[in-house]
Structure 1
Amino acid sequence: MQKGTVIKSTGSWYNVQLDEPSPAGASLLRSRVAGRFRLDDKKLTNPIAVGDRVAVAIESTGDEETGAIREIEDRRNYVVRQSPRKRHALHLLASNIDQAVVIVTVIVPDLKLGFIDRFLLMTEPFNIPTTIVFNKADIYGEDELETFEVIQQIYSDIGYDVLLVSAETGQGLEEFRELLRDKRSLISGQSGVGKSTLVNAVEPELELRTGELSDYSGKGQHTTTFAELFPLSFGGEIIDTPGIKTLSFNYLKPQDVAHNFREIFALSQECRFGGSCLHRHEPGCAVIESVEEEDDRVTDLRYNSYLTILEEVEGQNYWERRKV
């Protein structure tokens, strides 16, 4: 048995970077899953995530040396999402990360505010620091810059770092590089936002594959098929993930949503019903009062996003949630 780190997921096979070379001198071992692994009794489409520390048994078949993953070390944290293909299953995106970085842009493709909130709801329950990076600043006009400034204020006020960068002109790239330095970062975003181009701009040797927007839909084309971990020459690692189209939450309960919108949870202490308040129509709700009074402690944009996700989570009946 040898130990290593999973650096790439390719469906049923995983690339494991070994701590020490194999008997045949390999440092990277193509490995399969041997045994059944679960995550808190939840149904997973992939039992192992990029970033996992594993123990593998080395197997030789002819001239090929492969591995069988027998054990997974306890995870420091992980990022999970509802499977886009199997409604009742979960998909592990990454594990043992120091931070998450979500790449967005105001235009080309047009910004979907709800996506930012959904991404944050994916990382917040696991206390994973998350930075919002707006790319393509070079094509922002006056209206787009105004939109960025409004959004930056909203998220900065509740404790999230927000960067404005351009992979084309170099604006903000040094700040982006420093954000990544000496940390393991999950890099994600919707297709077409320039995620791979931005990473290539600070680490050209990676040569991540990039794609163009569809002329027909104006949406991005997927250029990353599987999650993969890459070392950075200036220190740290990134886990590059496929472009995300949608994020849903079959693994959350309504109260989880309320507790993981930062500003809403902070204000809930002032609600008549405290932590059990869902902040929709309850009497004596401090969150509703804040929205109605427009005191900016809870903004309309974030509150409406909260209500949309809450309704969606509640729409999954008891038996559907049990199937997770």
Structure 2
Amino acid sequence: MEKGIVIKSTGSWYTVRLPDQQIVLCGIRGKFRIKGIRATNPVAVGDHVGFEWSEDRTTGIITSIDERTNYIIRKSSKLSKEYQLVACNVDVAWLMVSMVLPRTLTPFIDRFLVSAEAYRIPVIILFNKTDLYDEHAMNEMNYLWAIYTSAGYHCMQMSLQTKKGIEEVRSKMKGKINVITGNSGVGKSTLINVLDPTIRLKIGEISDYHQAGKHTTTFSEMFELSSGINIIDTPGIRGFGMI
């Protein structure tokens, strides 16, 4: 049996990276469950799995999942009783927020922090698009900054346009499994492109009507950047269901 880490999940197929960097497309056999949670996807990005090769050794079948150190989940929909695994075995979760275009609401931040705390995942709150903040937006950021730092969370500010804060972010991500989450349009894929321009992820627009981001990342995927960073890009979400 071969071992590897899941770096991409598209529903029924999972991309697995082996220790020698070989990439294998795998399906699953049997049912995998998280105790007490009904998950729509049994395997997630970040999972360490065992698999068996197909007869022609072109694909694989996942037969086992190593015990997870932690995981991030969200509700599949507001009315659903099932959950979706977003990422597993995470060292740091980066919650990207913005005071403008789109504005991140505090209930969204709080729900994510509660979820991450429940599964023992350290969180860094990253305020993006600071180059666009007027005085009101800057005051709002400073107010939230004071609240969350007093609660023990590390906060950082960044501008992907001016490159402010990029090197500090890069330094804190190095050598870790990082997951980036936040509202659609907040800049998750752009950050990955800035950290490693060879990735070239598609970047979404902002809806003029709702001032909300349009989804461009439709599934979670882990990227191994040239600077020694493993980073999981997640689908943009406009709300985060309480666990």
TM range (shorter): over 0.9
Q: Secondary structure at the match of 2:204?
A: coil
1:84 is the counterpart of 2:65: no
C-alpha distance after superposition, 1:60-101 (max 9, x if no partner): 46xx71111000011111111221276011111111110100
Residue 110 (structure 1) shift: 1.9
Mapped to 2, the partners of 1:198 and 1:240 lie a distance apart of: 10
Matches within 5 A, 1:1-324: 1-20=1-20, 27-60=22-55, 65-84=58-77, 87-249=80-242, 251=243
C-alpha distance after superposition, 1:130-162 (max 9, x if no partner): 000011011111111111111111101111011
Q: Which amino acid aligns with 1:187?
A: I
C-alpha distance after superposition, 1:167-202 (max 9, x if no partner): 000111111111211111011110011111122222
State the TM-score, normalized to the length of structure 1: 0.72
Mapped to 2, the partners of 1:198 and 1:28 lie a distance apart of: 24
Say whether the 8 Å CA contact 1:78–1:126 is kept in structure 2. Answer: yes
Please list every run of 5 or more consecutive structure 1 residues that lacks an aligned counterpart in the other structure: 22-26, 252-324
Mapped to 2, the partners of 1:85 and 1:52 lie a distance apart of: 26
**1:278 maps to what in 2?**
none
Mapped to 2, the partners of 1:111 and 1:89 lie a distance apart of: 25
Mapped to 2, the partners of 1:14 and 1:110 lie a distance apart of: 33
Mapped to 2, the partners of 1:206 and 1:121 lie a distance apart of: 31
Q: Which amino acid aligns with 2:223?
A: F
Say whether the 8 Å CA contact 1:192–1:220 is kept in structure 2. Answer: yes
Percent identical: 43
Higher helix share: 1
Aligned residue-pair number: 243
Q: Secondary structure at the match of 1:204?
A: coil
Q: Which amino acid aligns with 1:220?
A: G
Mapped to 2, the partners of 1:95 and 1:211 lie a distance apart of: 25
Mapped to 1, the partners of 2:90 and 2:67 lie a distance apart of: 13
Q: Secondary structure at the match of 2:107?
A: helix
**1:313 maps to what in 2?**
none
Mapped to 2, the partners of 1:111 and 1:53 lie a distance apart of: 33
Say whether the 8 Å CA contact 1:166–1:198 is kept in structure 2. Answer: no
Residue 235 (structure 1) shift: 1.7
Please list every run of 5 or more consecutive structure 2 residues that lacks an aligned counterpart in the other structure: none
Aligned structure 1 segments of 4 or more residues deviating by more than 3 angstroms: none
Q: Secondary structure at the match of 1:71?
A: strand
Mapped to 1, the partners of 2:149 and 2:20 lie a distance apart of: 43
Query: Structure 1 residues 85 and 143 mapped into 2: Cα distance closer, same or farther (>3 Å)?
Result: closer
Q: Secondary structure at the match of 1:205?
A: coil
Q: Which amino acid aligns with 1:88?
A: K
Rg bigger for which structure? Answer: 1
Q: Which amino acid aligns with 2:13?
A: W
Mapped to 2, the partners of 1:60 and 1:32 lie a distance apart of: 14
C-alpha distance after superposition, 1:88-119 (max 9, x if no partner): 11111111110100111001112311111011
Residue 204 (structure 1) shift: 1.5
